[in-house]
Each structure stands twice: as structure tokens, then as C-alpha cells.
Structure 1
Amino acid sequence: MSEIKSVIENPAIEGNISEEYFAQRQLKKGAVGWLLLVGLGVAYVISGDFAGWNFGLAQGGWGGMFIATVIVAFMYLCMCLAMSEMSTMLPTAGGGYSFARIAFGPLGGYLTGTAILIEYAIAPSAIAVFIGAYCESLFGTGGWIVYLVCYLVFMSMHLKGAGEALKIIFLITSVASVALFVFIFSIAPHFNSANLFNIAVNPDAAGASAFLPLGYLGIWAAVPYAIWFFLAVEGVPLAAEEAKEPHKSLPRGLIGSMVILAVFALSILVLGAGAAGADSLKNSGAPLVDALKAVYGQNTWLAGFVNFVGLAGLVASFFSIIYAYSRQVFALSRAGYLPKKLSLTNNNHAPHLAIIIPGIIGFILSLSGEGDLLILMAVFGATISYVLMMMAYIKLKISKPDMPRPYQAPGGIVTASIALVLAAIAVVAGFLVDPKVWLMAAAIYLAFIVYFLVYSRNQLVAGTPEEEFAKIEAAEQELN
């Protein structure tokens, strides 16, 4: 509790914030029910089913990718259970940042929030590259024009407000899910287990076999791409301030979306590679389309349908992660960690600058055209945040066991500890794949840390939901 108390007593936190400050930073309450939250969780991630995951085949072969996916799915399940509990304790737009701030104070909150922001700001850049690849396959046009149109159109939609944006996301996600079901049922009759193991075996790799053609180390190297099957589902709590009955809807949204995503991931990994061959998909920009073409031929209507409707899946994730990064920027800005103007909201209660400015940065990053490398950078931020969020859960569970928890995660600390260990392993996995890209992401994170130490730690705002919660906790501690 000393950490929480220090937050309140920190003289760097501004104490005289007017009501007008928060009046200009209001999200739309009660705009999102649990079904929309399930749709939001699936939408965050569904692009990972259409492209990106298959690069893991090049890193670990099908066996390495399969083992990595099972481990990662288990990590996310454990993490979502713990996140569900914390989101009912503190239903604010900060999500994981809010949990870490209450547990570890301003610096802990900032470290977590900026790691999440790296994930959410860079992930749409990778998705834009994959949208370009699908458009190239479908229309013969891709590249920067497609990236620019994506950012302009979908940022504009988000400026209309949360309720409207999430309803659009839900509709797009539903369409994308239909495409996945069509793919699964049409590719299943052509499954041949021998196709899973047609990647050449590296005889110099320890433990190399037909199942693990790149050896045991390939499992570890495939982890970042297995994460792409689930990346950002933990962002559901970012809708907490706009959710109806958050103590009920947030756990349903997190757990429900996680179950759906796990079924999709394993079905696509097994059936897609089993029908078309792992080797033919390992470097594809549009693996589902290429799998159908390999089975049914170049001019089949199925490939055209999945290609066209598959764009909806990529768009759904792109669209929804814009929502996620805007709410993360909003929460960090409202608290003073980032420039305060970024948390201003428009007449539709949408944080317009928090939508636009990260979008500009994301567009610039997408111009690299390196979707696989952008995935690694996003995964770096994600896994760092997972470690910190699970540490926050364990800390709060030990230090405040009597804190009201409308939902409690099965297994409690054990569940969170499993997610913590697996997340720590995943942090290192990105370095294994490409040390240069991993270090670039680490440099961005370091720049954020320097910004806090030099400037923003002296700009923190009192009166935010996290701050008010901490005040209550400190007062209770003094009374006891």
C-alpha cells in the first residue's frame, strides 16, 4: 500500500484540476453491451487468422508453430481470466495501465501503458500491409494508396463515437467470421496430414525432425507469430467506461472472444496447412487465399470469395485496434502521462486527437511494407505489458485480498503466474527471430521511459479514475 499512498502524496501530481478538465474528456457511458464486447475482442484479433500467423511456419515448421500456438492460447486464456477479475475491480478506459498504476504507482502504470500503446499503435501498420496484399491479389492494386485509404476512412468512422463504431465493428467481424467458416468447411475435405510436414528438415538444428524441421528452437521462434492469432484480445477492458454493467459484461466479453479465437486459430492452422502444404504457405501474404488456390485452382470462386470477404477480417482488426490505441492514448493523456490535449473529446465523445495522431504515425510505419517485422515490434510491446499486468494482478491479490471483485479468476495467483512465466518467455522469443527489430522496438520503449523521467512525471493529474481509486485505498489504509 506504500506504493499507492506515494501516488497520492506525490507533489508532482497536479491537485487543482477543474471540473471542466474532465468535462472535456468524457466517453459515452453505457454504449456497449457484452455481445458487442465479444465482437470487439474477436475483431481485435481476427486479422491474425487471415494473414501473419503463417510466418511462424517458416520459423518453426508446422510442428513448432502448432506447439507454440497451443502454449500461447493457454497463456492468453490464463491472462484473460486474470484480466477479467481486474477489469471488474477497476472498470476504467485505461485497462491494463490502470491495474498496474494501482499496484505499482505512476511509473508502473506508465511502463505498462506505453508498452500497450506500442502494441496497439504498430499492429494496425502490419494489418494495413496485409490489407494491401489482399487488395493486390483481388484488384491488382496495393501499396501506400491502400494504407492511406484505410487510415483515412476508418479514423473518420471512429470520430463518430464509440457506440456507432463498435456496431460497425461487430457487423464487419460477423462477415469476416462467415469467410473463416467457408474456408474451414471448404478446405477440410482436402486435408492430408503429410502436407503438414513438407518443410525441409534442417539437419544442424537440435531436435530436428519432420515434425520439428527447425528443431526445438523453432518452437520458441514461432511464438511471436502464434501470438498474432490472439494479439490485442486483452484490449476488451479498454471499453470499460463505455460498457453496460462492466462487472458482468467485461468477463463475458474477454472469455467469450478468447474461446472463439482459439477455435479459429487451431482450425486454420491444422486444415489450411494440411490441405495446401506448410511449405507453400510459410511466406504468403494471403495464406487462406493461396491455400484455396492450391486446392481448387487459380480461378475458383471460393478463393475469390474468401479473398474479398477476408478483407473484412483484416478491416475488422484494423478498425477495432484504432479504437484500442485511441482509448489507451486517451487514458494516458487524461492522467498527464502524455500531452493533455490528446485526451480532449469531440461532440460525439470521441477522443479525436488520440485517434488521428497515432494514425499518422502508423501510416508512416506501414510504408515499410514489412508486415512480418511490424508484427515483431507489436509483439514486443504486447509481451512486456503482459508481464507487467500479471505482476500487478499478483501484487493486488496479495496486498488487497479483500478488495471487491465481482468476478474472480479460477486459480487466482497460480493462473496469473502461469501467464506471467509464459509471457516472459515470449518477450525473449522476439529477439530470437530478429534481434535488430526487437532492439528497435526496445529503443522506442526506452524513449517513452526517458520522456516520463525527464518531463511527464511532473505533469500527472489528480482526479482521474485511477487516482480517485488510489485515494480511497490510501484512506482505508490510514483508518486501519
Structure 2
Amino acid sequence: MKSESKSQHVGKVTHHELKQTLGTWQLWGIAVGLVISGEYFGWSYGWASAGTLGFVITAVFIAAMYTTFIFSFTELTTSIPHAGGPFAYARHAFGPTGGYLAGAATLVEFVFAPPAIALAIGAYLHVQFPGLEPKHAAMGAYLVFMALNIVGVQIAAAFELCVTLLAIFELLVFMGVVSPGFQWANFTKGGWSGADTFSMGSFHGMFAAIPFAIWFFLAIEGVAMAAEEAKNPKRSIPIAYVAGILTLVVLAIGVMVFAGAAGDWTKLSNINDPLPQAMKFIVGEHSGWMHMLVWLGLFGLVASFHGIILGYSRQIFALARAGYLPEWLSKVHPRFKTPHRAIIAGGVVGIAAIYSDELIQFGGQTLTANIVTMSVFGAIVMYIISMLSLFKLRRSDPNMERPFRAPLFPFFPAFALVAAVICLATMVYFNFLVAVVFAIFLALGYVYFLLTRHQREAAPSDALLEE
């Protein structure tokens, strides 16, 4: 009976393998592409509550959190190069329950981020083509990029690298075009929550702006979910992660400062297209530069949308393969070797969210704002669990092979952990209703987890998850 069971598991594993095709540049493209839409929209809402100078402090704090997190997270990614990413690390450190919490949080982050970006794509296309319904355009974006991800990860990663490079080029063009009108006085005027001088009230605005600073970097950790498809993950992933976070920090600072110094920043603080509006201050509404920025702006949105589809599909695939979700979601396409069912399943949830205004639009927030906030909740919880996993594995498994070790341990992961806890507390305070919905999701998922123990016992053996 044991030999029969073992042969069945071996047979299953052959149907759950991903193809190793990704190189360092492609992984860097995924790392930056996952995030780069955050340079185009979302962050400027932080100015409304914190002001430009207050938001700089918030953004620097969040950038420090992400930088220390990525340097620490890379140790986990290279030690356990698993498509489940944080789920695999937490399961290895804390057992099945830890794996569930990390996997569920990551799933919320990566399943709820794409519909927010798809809605932005739809809104953008609606401006160019007024007869096109934004939600229909958002659904069309899902269908196109789900198909591209199914066809093959090599093609998908090559496309991701191309659109990411175009998006970076566009941000550099933006900074170059507005630079002749750069005035530091524009950036600093009313820079402390609308006032010219710092006050205790400025702290409130700085904390309230935390989610918008997180949007600058949200989802960069998704590279971990492509680890099983990397040619040499122990070498390529550290390079991709470190180069990716440095690229994003430089772009975030550059875009924010150049936009705020171009004119009256208060006119940019509550809109979805701060870059084109900032450019209007310098070149006017009908400039050729303006039209180029508007059209190329789509590349930043597409890069993140496409990359996060890759991320959520690998998370669903890994959870299903380990028995945390229905096993049929872990099947890979016989020809393309991609998790096609996981890609489709996440897309169905995202499209449903796009058309669920009445269910998701609550607490005085827009549909997009609530979807983004839900995604951020998942991310922050996952960051906390990941850093706890790093500390736990350093103690419980000191002999584990670690091709990349977190620098300045334990200070880097400790800072990332404390910063993430601060962010979570702030998020709950300012977004209590969304926090309750997020907690309900986790609770319902945990009930499913408790009822499906037999699925995990029957799942294919996985050496990276064995304790």
C-alpha cells in the first residue's frame, strides 16, 4: 500500500511541475513591473492628508521598510525557491496553520490588486474612447492578459520586461519634460498637511497617508512566486530583488518630487492622473509631450496588471498543490506548462469584484479605494508573517542552505517587522470596516482549512515543504 501511495504521489508531481525558463533580467522586469503602476497613480492621494513634506517622511519610512524587507525576504526566497512564496516559508517555519495564514494573506493581496488596476486601465481607455464602458474594458484587459499568461511564462515574462522598460522610459521622460519648471518653493508650500509649518496635527496626516506610500512598492515580493520557474534562483533572484527595489525607490522619489515642484501640488492630490496634470503646468494641454505621456501611461498599468496575474496564479497553484485549495486548481497546461486553471480562477474573482459595486463600495470609500485597501491589508499581514518566519527558521533550522543571508541580521528584518506592525495598526484605525471584512475572509478560509485536512494529507509530496 505504501509503495502504491508513493507511486501515485510521484505521478501527481509530474502533473504539477512548472517550467524553468526565467533569467535574471526577466525576474527584474517582473519585480519592477509588478509595482510600477504605483508610480503613475494612487500615491498622490497621500498629499491630501499629509502634504508634500509630510508625505516625504511617510514615503521614506515605507521605502526603508520595503528595502529592509526585501533584503530579508530574499534569504527566504533563495533558501526555499517555491511557487508558494510566503506560504511555503511560513509552513516550513510554523506548520500548516502558519502556511494557511501567510497563503491566505498573500492570496488576498494578489487577487484584489488586479481589479483595482484593471479599473484604472478601463478608466484610462474611457477617456480616449468615451463610448467604451470602463468596466467592460477592465474585463477585456483580464481576458487578454489571462490568455497571454496561459500561453507560456517565457512569452509572458518577455512581454513584462518590454512594457516595464517602456514604463520606466516614460517616467524618465516625464521628469525631463517638467524639469525646466522645477521650483522647490512649489513643493514646500503648504507641505505640512496644508500648512507651511510642522505641527502635532501633521502626525495624523502622515499616518493616514501610509497606505498611499505602500502603493509605491506593493507586490514587489511577487517575484518569489516565480522562483520555481527561474533558471538559477539562488543567484538570479537576489540580483533581481535588490536591483528592483533600488530602481523603484529612485523612480518613486523622482516622480514625487518633480511632480510636486512643477506647480500647485494641491491640484494633483486627489486625482488618478497626477503625472499628465503636472505636465500641463509646464507644456500646456495640447503639447505633443502631453499626448505621448497619456498614451504611454498605459504601459505602467499593463506592466503591473500583467505581472500580478502571474503572481496570483502561482499562489493559487501552490496552495492547491499542497491541499489548501481544491486539487484541480494545481493542474498545469499539458502544452504550455502554465497553471491555466489558477489563472482563470483568479480572473473570475477579479472580474466579479469589478462588477460588485454594491458589495464592495462601503464605508464612504470608492470601489477602487476599498479594493486597494483590501490588497494592502493582505500584503502587510504577509510581511509580518514572513519576517517572523525568518527569525523562526534561523533558530529552528540553522543548517538550512542559505545562498543569500539577510544583511545586518537581526536589525534589517526587525525593522521591517516593526514597521509592518505599525502599518497594520494604522490601517485598522483608518479603515476599520475593510479590516473587519478582511478578518472575515481569513476566518472563513480558516474554517475551510480545518474541514479539508484530508486534502493536505493526500497532496503530492513536496520536499521544500517537508518538516
> What TM-score does the superposition give when structure 2 sets the normalisation length?
0.92
Deviations 1:310-338 (A, max 9, x none): 10110000000000000000000000001
Kept in 2: contact 1:197–1:211 (CA 8 A): no
Partner of 2:347: 359
3-state SS of the aligned residue for 1:345? coil
Deviations 1:380-405 (A, max 9, x none): 00000000000000111122222211
Q: 1:212 to 1:317 in 2, by over 3 A?
A: farther
Amino acid at match of 1:365: A
1:457 to 438, 450, 453: 453
Amino acid at match of 2:349: I
Q: 1:334 to 1:146 in 2, by over 3 A?
A: same
- CA shift, 1:43, in A, is 0.4
Amino acid at match of 1:272: A
Partner of 1:138: 128
- 5+ residue gaps, structure 2, are 358-365
Deviations 1:43-73 (A, max 9, x none): 0000001111111112222122211111111
- The correspondence of residues 309-388 of structure 1 with structure 2, limited to 5 A, is 309-346=296-333, 347-367=335-355, 368=357, 370-388=367-385
> Runs ≥4 in structure 1, deviation > 6 angstroms?
200-203
Kept in 1: contact 2:9–2:459 (CA 8 A): no
- CA shift, 1:15, in A, is 7.5
Partner of 1:8: none
Kept in 2: contact 1:212–1:218 (CA 8 A): no
Amino acid at match of 1:264: L
**Cα distance in 1, alignment partners of residues 193 and 82 from structure 2:** 49
Q: 1:173 to 1:470 in 2, by over 3 A?
A: closer
- 5+ residue gaps, structure 1, are 1-13, 475-480
**Cα distance in 1, alignment partners of residues 382 and 90 from structure 2:** 9
Q: 1:144 to 1:199 in 2, by over 3 A?
A: farther
Kept in 2: contact 1:325–1:355 (CA 8 A): yes
1:193 to 156, 171, 184: 184
1:403 to 400, 403, 409: 400
Q: 1:215 to 1:82 in 2, by over 3 A?
A: same
2:232 to 245, 248, 262: 245
Partner of 2:360: none
Q: 1:427 to 1:464 in 2, by over 3 A?
A: farther
- The correspondence of residues 37-436 of structure 1 with structure 2, limited to 5 A, is 37-140=27-130, 141=132, 143-198=134-189, 210=197, 215-346=202-333, 347-367=335-355, 368=357, 370-436=367-433
**Cα distance in 1, alignment partners of residues 201 and 256 from structure 2:** 18
Partner of 1:3: none
Of residues 239-248 and 54-63 in structure 1, the stretch that sits farther from structure 2 once superposed is 54-63
3-state SS of the aligned residue for 2:271? coil
**Cα distance in 1, alignment partners of residues 36 and 192 from structure 2:** 31
Kept in 2: contact 1:272–1:291 (CA 8 A): yes
- CA shift, 1:214, in A, is 5.3
3-state SS of the aligned residue for 2:151? coil
Partner of 1:36: 26
Q: 1:248 to 1:460 in 2, by over 3 A?
A: same
Deviations 1:231-284 (A, max 9, x none): 010111111111011110111111110000000101111111221332111111
3-state SS of the aligned residue for 1:468? coil
Q: How many residues align?
A: 452
Kept in 2: contact 1:17–1:462 (CA 8 A): no
Kept in 2: contact 1:199–1:213 (CA 8 A): no
**Cα distance in 1, alignment partners of residues 165 and 389 from structure 2:** 34
Q: 1:252 to 1:122 in 2, by over 3 A?
A: same
**Cα distance in 1, alignment partners of residues 115 and 280 from structure 2:** 27
Amino acid at match of 1:162: V
**Cα distance in 2, alignment partners of residues 410 and 417 from structure 1:** 12
Q: 1:470 to 1:335 in 2, by over 3 A?
A: closer
Amino acid at match of 2:260: A
Kept in 2: contact 1:129–1:370 (CA 8 A): no
Q: 1:329 to 1:279 in 2, by over 3 A?
A: same
Kept in 2: contact 1:124–1:362 (CA 8 A): yes
* 1:468 maps to 2:440: no
Kept in 2: contact 1:115–1:385 (CA 8 A): yes
> What TM-score does the superposition give when structure 1 sets the normalisation length?
0.90
**Cα distance in 2, alignment partners of residues 303 and 338 from structure 1:** 47
Q: 1:50 to 1:200 in 2, by over 3 A?
A: closer
Q: 1:418 to 1:462 in 2, by over 3 A?
A: farther
- CA shift, 1:375, in A, is 1.5
Q: How big is the alpha-carbon RMSD for the aligned residues of Structure 1 and Structure 2?
A: 2.1
